[in-house]
Amino acid sequence: MLHISASTCSAEKMIVIKLKDKTLEFYDAGTLIKKYDVRVGKKPTPTPTGDGYIYEKRKRPVFRYIDPPNKGKVIKYVTLGSGKTIKVPRNKMRSLGFRINGYDTDKYSIHSTNHTDTIGKAISNGCVGMRIEDMLEFYPLIEVNTKVTIEP
């Protein structure tokens, strides 16, 4: 079981994710700086709740299929809600890996998505998805060890 102590986290900056509202709020020194609409985990693969922290920042992360028949293969193209297929714009993708108390895994992250039609929905495999332009704005504001609280 993973346990996060208060001394691990950055005291000034904080991320609050509200699963019911499907929002991410960014605070600095207790002041709300920015609020974003996000997508969250679906019922079979929910986003974990609790307190934790950002453990990793990744520019140009590689996303892989998690289900057969393409399990493990790199996702290079995606089909948008409109039916249009596009190449994943890796140069604009960002990811913030987070750990939550009680979950012994590093599989969760807040990351960019080009599926803007999924924002505001419970549709992911547990990660928190943000519009690419929102993540490009948000990513530089966050440091490793920033506190994360995920509310139901």
Q: What CATH number has the domain bearing residue 48?
A: 2.40.440.10
- pLDDT of 83 reads 86
Q: What is the pLDDT of residue 64?
A: 82
Opening angle at CA 36, ends 27 and 41, nearest 5: 105
Question: What is the chain's mean pLDDT, rounded?
Answer: 89
Asked if the model's pLDDT at residue 92 lies above 60, the reply is yes
Q: Please tell me the predicted confidence (pLDDT) of residue 135.
A: 97
Bond into 152 cis (ω within 30): no
| Mean pLDDT computed over 85-109 | 88
Has residue 130 been placed in a domain? yes
pLDDT, mean of residues 73-100: 88
Confidence at 11, pLDDT banded by 50, 70, 90: low
2 assigned to some structural domain: no
Domain membership of residue 3 (yes or no) is no
Q: Is 6 inside any structural domain?
A: no
Domain count, the chain: 1
Range(s) of the domain holding residue 93: 11-151
Q: Is residue 96 part of a domain?
A: yes
In a domain, 22, yes or no: yes
Question: Would 128 be classed as within a structural domain?
Answer: yes
Query: For residue 5, is it within any domain?
Result: no
pLDDT tens digits for 99-140? 998 887 778 999 999 899 999 999 999 999 999 999 999 999
pLDDT for 3: 39
